[in-house]
Amino acid sequence: MPIDYTKRSGSQGSGVSLGKVTLTKSAPTVSLTKHGGSIGGELRVNLNWTARPSSGFLRRSGPGEDIDLDLACLYELTSGKKGVVQALGNSFQSKNDGDPIISLDGDDRTGESTEGENLRIDLSRLSEIRRILVFTYIYEGSPNWAGANGVVTIYPHGAAPIEVRLDESDPSARTCAIAMLENTGSDLSIRREVRYVRGTQSALDAAYGWGMKWTPGRK
């Protein structure tokens, strides 16, 4: 059973796009193959953020309080199997037949790693994927999304990066759905979400109709 974070008591070539694409509210979706990406390669999803936001009007965390953002995803396969890939519960790989289709490199607890956190998706097995919802949640620190300056960059094989900036914020939310990746038959659609959820993984599940059962846990 996947783990739902529970807060600690008392804590809170030709045809290839040459330039980076930033998904926005007015232009939220991109087709991977039209962008020049290869369906047969690896798709890397990277999260970077500022661990200790500077003080300012939008600052909500206390002085010197670091923020620990975790990159994760919900996945649904064409077989009907569903699950989560996240550091919580040591669920670093998708549970599917054969080698993992999705894997998480590790858990950056400080936000100081220049490489951030990375999800790796094997698109040679696109036929096995129905949809993947990339999200992040604040494991430690107050929900100072504005100060964290979070950005997710998607690196397709053979094409320029696709960027989704967390340029909106909700100080009452601990979870943010970032992007939805959907199999459209012979292509992969990538859609910006940047939808904040006032709850943890189970609330995100409910918002997107994943239908899994969750159990509380901590790292």
Please determine, looking at this structure, whether the domain spanning 39-211 carries the CATH number 2.170.190.11: no
Mean pLDDT check: name the lowest of 106-115, 125-134, 170-179.
106-115
What's the CA gap between 212 and 203, in Å, rounded?
11
Give Cβ neighbours of residue 184 (< 8 Å, ≥ 6 apart): 31
Question: What's the pLDDT at 86?
Answer: 95
- Render pLDDT for 77-110 as a digit per residue (tens, 0 to 9): 999 999 999 998 889 999 999 999 999 997 554 4
Say what percent of the chain tops pLDDT 70.
Answer: 80
Question: What's the pLDDT at 16?
Answer: 45
Question: What's the pLDDT at 138?
Answer: 86
| pTM score of the predicted model | 0.85
Q: Rounded mean pLDDT of the chain? A: 84
pLDDT at residue 63 greater than cutoff 60: no
- The phi, psi pair for 181, rounded to 5°, reads -110, 125
Question: What's the pLDDT at 2?
Answer: 78
Q: Where are the domains of the chain?
A: 39-211
Of 192, 137, 152, 196, give the one whose Cα is nearest residue 172: 196
State the number of CA atoms in the 13 A half-sphere of 144 facing the CB.
26
Say what percent of the chain tops pLDDT 90.
Answer: 60
